[in-house]
Chains A and B, each alone.
Chain A
Amino acid sequence: MRKIVLLAAAAAMSMGLPAFSGSHGDGPVKAGFVYVGPIGDGGWTYEHHQGLLAVEEHFGDKVETVYQESVPEGADAERAMTQMALQGADIIFTTSFGYMDPTINVAANFPDVKFEHATGYKRADNVSTYSARFYEGRAVQGLIAGKMTKTNKIGYIASFPIPEVIRGINSAYIHAKKANPDVEISVIWVYTWFDPPKEADAAKALIDNGVDVVLQHTDSTAPQAAAAEAGVISFGQASDMSEYAPLPRVSSIIDNWAPYYIARVQAVMDGTWESVDTWDGIGPGMVEIGEITDAVPADVKAEAEALRDAIGSGEYHAFTGPLNKQDGSPWLAEGETADDGTLVGMNFYVEGVTGEIPN
Chain B
Amino acid sequence: MIRLERRPAPSRAWAWATPLLAVLATMVAGGLLFAFLGKDPLLVIRTIFWDPILGEFAFYYRGQLLVKAGPLILIAIGLSLGFRAGVWNIGAEGQYIMGAICGAAVGLAFYPLEARWLIFPLMVLAGGLGGFLWAMIPGILRTRFNTNEILVSLLLVYVAEQILAWMALGPLRSPDGAGFPGSRNLRHYDSAANHELISGSGMHWGLVAAFIAVILGHVLLSRHILGFNIRLAGASPRAARFAGVNPGLLVLTCLGVSGALAGFAGLFEVAGPAGQINIDFNVGYGFTAIIVAFLGRLHPVGILLAGFLMALTYIGGEAAQATLGVPAAAIQAFQGMLLFFLLALDVMTNYRVRIDARARA
Contacts and interface: CB of A to CB of B under 8 A. Distances in A.
B321 interface: yes
A11 B165 contact: no
Given A10-B202, A68-B321, A75 B211 contact: no
Interface in B138-178: 165-166, 169-170, 173, 178
B64 interface: yes
Contact of B318 (A80, A98, A191): A80
Contact of B329 (A11, A38, A121): A38
Interface in B301-334: 315, 318-319, 321-323, 325, 327-329
A54 interface: no
Given A68-B328, A87-B323, A98 B200 contact: no
Given A74-B280, A86-B57, A191-B165, A347 B179 contact: yes
Interface residues of B, number: 49
B59 A7 contact: no
Contacts of B279: 160, 191
A163 interface: yes
Which of B165, B179, B181, B328 has its CB near the most chain A CB atoms (within 10 A)? Answer: B179
B333 to A, nearest CB: 13
Interface in A83-102: 83-84, 86-87, 97-98, 101
Interface residues of A, number: 49
A27 interface: no
Contact of A66 (B199, B273, B322): B322
Contacts of B321: 68-69
B185 interface: yes
Contacts of A347: 179
B198 A83 contact: no
Given A68-B328, A80-B322, A359-B173, A14 B273 contact: no
Contacts of A83: 57, 60, 318-319, 322
Given A69-B321, A79-B318, A358-B169, A345 B273 contact: no
Contacts of A2: 211
Given A11-B201, A18-B200, A74-B278, 4 more contacts: A10-B62, A13-B60, A70-B328, A163-B180
6 contacts: A18-B200, A38-B328, A69-B328, A70-B328, A87-B323, A359-B170
